[in-house]
Amino acid sequence: MIDSTSDIAGPEKATTPIGRRRFMAYCSAVGLGGAVPATLWAQAQQEGAVTKEMLATAEELVGLEFTDEERELMLQGLNRNLSSYQALREHDIPNSVAPAISFDPLLPGTLPPTEHKAFRYTRPVGVTRPLNLEALAFEPVTVLSELIRTKQVTSTELTQMYLARLERHDPTLFCVITLTEERALRQARQADAEIARGHYRGPLHGIPWGAKDLLSVPEYRTTWGAKPYEHQQTGETATVVERLDDAGAVLVAKLTLGALAQGDVWFGERTRNPWNPEEGSSGSSAGPASATAAGLVGFAIGSETLGSIISPATRCGVTGLRPTFGHVSRYGAMALSWTMDKLGPMCRSVEDCALVMHTIHGADGKDGTVRDVPFNWDPAVHPRELRVGYLKSAFEEERRENQEDQREADLRSLEVLREVGVDLIPFSLPDELPIGAMRIILSAEAAAAFNELTMSGRDDLLVRQGQGGWGNTFRTARMTPAVEYIQANRLRTIAMGEMAARFAGIDVFVAPSFVGQTLTLTNLTGHPAVVVPNGFRDNGTPLSISFIGKLYGDAEALAVAKAYQDATNFHGRKPERFV
């Protein structure tokens, strides 16, 4: 359904001197809402300028009230601003251009880790090739890489197997936007030739993987899951793709995302959950979660701004890492929120996430938010060596009737951690802050990132319309006063200080994935999170638990999650329909 105020199919309906779409932008510039009173519409055509009546209406939208004398004084400045807005809009600004402001999750005086330690990973013992190669479809990267390293399996064989599974199961899951078959087979043959010569690049060499289709790959379209960009091709290679290429990994598919990184509905269909294809996979990293859970790729790369790794990883029962903000370059990725976007791995085990993170992290000189901070993974680290907290109030909170199975799984997760020797420390978050209100940061930045889409009227092409759709959100965000956006970011600084004080006593804390404001808060402050399955509902669909680390403490969060995962085996279960 399209909002009744957005009744123009093209960029502008030129039936008046101004044009209705242009008039909406005009009113937006001075704080007027999308539902413009007819009298003001007529008046604007006559006046050609901001009037006191317009200003009085705008005051209601932003919760302010000025006197008539104050309005009179403001008019000259407002009309001058309007001319400035119109001048700015004459310049096309690509989505890839970041604003000349940046977010740093580290407060002044705080230094990131600097010690680089030797990278270690687990090499399984006694791994042998099965009679049926497809039995490897659900194996973690640690197993697949050992088979490739020992030359029991070739990259070409694995690549052909995963390509065949992608083609066979995509009509059920709708998780693929573009198969990259030609590129994949070329990379696989190169990997085999190098390994045959004794040149083994490391644990990702020859491993097939899938990219969320907001990562640019020059040979293929990058659609962002949205109809207006269905045929878009870009010239750059995303840094994450480039680094995985350098590690010898094999890109087999560009996977779905909900349109413009929202939900699981894209221009082709709705991506499905392998555990129950009647329901969506959640999003926005819909395809990476679905394909990894169904054994269609060795691993995948997703992105998160406000839950887009955590939520689909939970729904599909995979392991996801949302890295510290500024740990992984976003160059070549679609921008939604420059101060909140993160890229991270979605895998079948915690250690797989560590292997991928080791490859993709670090500064590249292209994304100015990224620090060259070490990622020191060692699978031998035991959580007894770390200070681990638990979000006490969230575990004690009563759940709705349909959430009791999640509550039981969460409480059992604490028992498991204690059984493996973790001394859990009660922990709390700064709940007194208006965390939810700070979400205007995301909506304002997203509206700026897709300014052209709104101004041209092509937001009508998005599949999802209505109250919660991006089109409406972008238009609504244009009513956000710049002052309130700044105020929200100032409160964000206070939240960062509160979190820094709380993390002074711990390295990692465990929390229910979706209770309270944890997900929103830690995305705003830039903290890393690891999500792993911790049980199943009565209907057979997965549940999850989250481990949140200190800033740049991604490896420590992964270490605690690995200890939990090793003591359970929820991540080892497979959706029967795809076995």
Distance separating alpha carbons of residues 83 and 145, to the nearest angstrom: 60
- Please provide residue 273's backbone torsions phi and psi, each rounded to the nearest 5 degrees: -85, 120
Distance separating alpha carbons of residues 321 and 560, to the nearest angstrom: 13
Q: Would the CA dihedral through 293, 298, 302, 307 be positive or negative?
A: positive
Distance separating alpha carbons of residues 538 and 241, to the nearest angstrom: 39
Q: Which amino acid is at 200?
A: Y
Structure tokens at 1: 């359904």
- Which residue from 140, 126, 158 is spatially nearest to 572, judged by alpha carbons? 140
Would you call 433 exposed, middle or buried from its count of C-beta atoms within 10 A (0-12, 13-18, 19+)? middle
Give the SS3 label for residue 346: strand
Q: What would the DSSP string read from start to end of 501-548? A: HHHTT-SEEEEETTSTTHHHHHHHHT--EEEEEEEE-TTS-EEEEEEE
Q: How far is CA 145 from CA 57, 254, 299, 355, 557, in A?
A: 63, 22, 12, 11, 24
| Residue in 282, 284, 337, 443 annotated catalytic | 284
- Which residue from 253, 241, 250 is spatially nearest to 187, judged by alpha carbons? 250
Which residues pair with residue 390 across a beta bridge? Answer: 426, 510
Q: Are 167 and 144 in contact (CB under 8 A)?
A: no
84 is catalytic: no
Structure tokens at 211: 């990219």
308 is catalytic: yes
| Residue in 145, 308, 311, 443 annotated catalytic | 308
285 is catalytic: no
Structure tokens at 476: 């609504």
- Which residue from 281, 230, 262 is spatially nearest to 470, judged by alpha carbons? 262
Which ranges constitute the DSSP H helices of 90-178? 141-149, 155-173
Distance separating alpha carbons of residues 321 and 313, to the nearest angstrom: 9
Which residues pair with residue 508 across a beta bridge? Answer: 388, 549
Distance separating alpha carbons of residues 150 and 128, to the nearest angstrom: 9
Distance separating alpha carbons of residues 367 and 377, to the nearest angstrom: 23
Q: Which residues contact 290 (CB under 8 A, 6 or more apart)?
A: 173, 175, 255, 256, 271, 272, 273, 274, 281, 296, 312, 316
| 409 DSSP 8-state letter | H
| Residue in 6, 145, 212, 329 annotated catalytic | 212
Q: How far is CA 347 from CA 226, 501, 531, 543, 571, in A?
A: 25, 32, 11, 16, 10
Catalytic residues: 212, 284, 308
